[in-house]
A and B are shown apart, each in its own frame.
Chain A
Amino acid sequence: MTIAITHLSRRFAEFRALDDVSLSIAPGEFVALLGPSGSGKTTLLRILAGLDFPDSGELTQDGRDLLRVSARDRGVGLVFQHYALFRHMTVFENVAFGLRVRPRARRPSKAEIADRVDRLIKRVQLDGLAQRYPAQLSGGQRQRVALARALAIEPGLLLLDEPFGALDAQVRISLRRWLRHLHEELHLTTVFVTHDQEEALELADRVVVMNRGRIEQVGTPEEIYQQPATPFVFEFIGKSNKLPVRIQNGRLVAGDQRLDADGLDGAADAGAIAYVRPEHLALTPTPLESGWRATVRHIYLAGSIAHVELDVPSLGQSLEAELGGEEAQRRALQPGAAVTVQPRHLTVFPIDGKTGEPDPERRRVAHPRYGQAALARWR
């Protein structure tokens, strides 16, 4: 049951909600559509559900044209952010709805419906609540009713629109784990929309990062985090420092530093934007030849990690570094302390001469080389 999305575009007046989006979803896959609001992720989900239609492009399931199948006949399980439960029906009636509205020929018998609904209610751990109305349930319970209701029609595809968006943090995390387990049991092809990167990276087999109606990157959570393909993904996922640099004769010029670096072979001289993750900045209190001189402006401990905010005069900006909390305490790192900062690796996007924008096509990962003697030790 492979779902193929090819060159989908959807416009609302002047707004391009989807702009030439192509994606293929394998059977049993758990895919996250991740992006900020207005990135087109919900529009894509609604098109998959048959609740919206593209202006151009194709949507097929094993070669069958899905755009000709109405939402009613698509057999898609849909879960909404705000549950969209039928509030005048009990939990039991909500879950049974999809079976009861079937044409008589395909409708299971009353006993069969009751049996299936009971099993689903157990599966979503709502035993004993079958006769309650949605108003009598908590947010997490309601969302599980919505899920049971969607699963009742035995969908070929499960779509979740910000399923945890309306829940508080604790419930969100436990429901997330539970959903992951459910997916491992059922192997149901699942697509879910979220703007929460943590959620996407934790749950999905594959993450689709979207921005302004386009797909920025598709990859496993590791790939998305470790090898962001575009400046947008870098800024959207995780934390990063953004610095203006220059590539010159295979070296990286940043502030007062000229760094010899691997990974820049054959790169044309150009201005560029470099991104560094906070955990890829190493610090040391001794003044070294290579590395920026900086002052600690602020430091705070969050669990096992210390976040250090640094003023770097030669760059004319501040940087954020992370090091182990124990390390920071042992070194008694204080605001006002002078340190040397060395990037361990940077992702560099040369600026395109024509558009003036950083070019993801010419992306390079630079590993600066430091002599043994001139190596910052704290990470």
Chain B
Amino acid sequence: MKHSKIGSKTDFRKLGREIARNKYIYLIMSFGIFYLILFSYVPMRGLLLAFKDYKVRRGIMGSPWVGFAHFERLFREADFRRAFVNTLQISFGRILFQFPFPILIAILVNELRGGKGKKALQTIYTFPHFLSWVIVAVVVGNVFESDGAANQLIQLFGGEPRLFLADKTLFRPLLYFTDVWKESGWSSIIYLSAISAISGELYEAAAVDGANRLQRIVHITLPGIRSTVVVMLLLAVGGVMNGGFDQIFNMSNPTVQKVSDIIDTYIYRITFTQATDFGFSTAVGLFKSVINFVLLVSFDFVARKFEGRGIME
């Protein structure tokens, strides 16, 4: 007993010395930490509103409690239920249809010999990523206008022109396509760098054994990027509560709202364009954040366990 007490005292002194020795580290860190406390942690106090009837004049703390009333209303609200289902459908649609594209592009680009052409292609592929959805919605939207290129092409082959942007059955495929158009080139870089980490000897040995290109891709390239693919997939599944606010907000219109409204666009609409009920809106946001958190933590755990790295690193 006595020993440990003395021990802890010297430990304490040692700790003090360690802190003093690192005082500049704390100083350097203080700006970022202070920032995150103010802009990430202080707002979390606002989550109390999810259980309160917000009165502007009484503030967050002074507003009266209402328990789970907002959440009870939430599950009764048809618009919310629709947004929730849409979010999941769109997110899984994205995983199903969009996820393979960057991998495919990376594999194909990797098959090209380096040179000016390859470089130019990659510049073109990655460029749209650097534009906002405000811009991309217009740029790509044009192609799908009533007399845009897509309809010209359809008519060329004898088909009937379609109103892509106002068609409930076509709107989601359009979302997937435009997001592939904007992001798959950029996302392919992750896979390309994973491919470049594969040992060249493997390919040489396969060539000696007479493996053709497709066999090399299937037996060397794909297994070589497996871990990257799994981590990216887990990250995508972890983010299913998002659905892509920026894109949908800029591309959708009232005609397709039934199939395009996701939780985030729903929150925006009820908060800033309809009768404002901050308590209820916060409850919707909290509901989303909690599910999001649980998903991310679980998939991060899975990634760490099986792939040896977290999904966020």
Do A and B belong to a common assembly? no
Could you list which residues of chain A lie within 8 angstroms of chain B, going by C-beta atoms?
none
Could you list which residues of chain B lie within 8 angstroms of chain A, going by C-beta atoms?
none
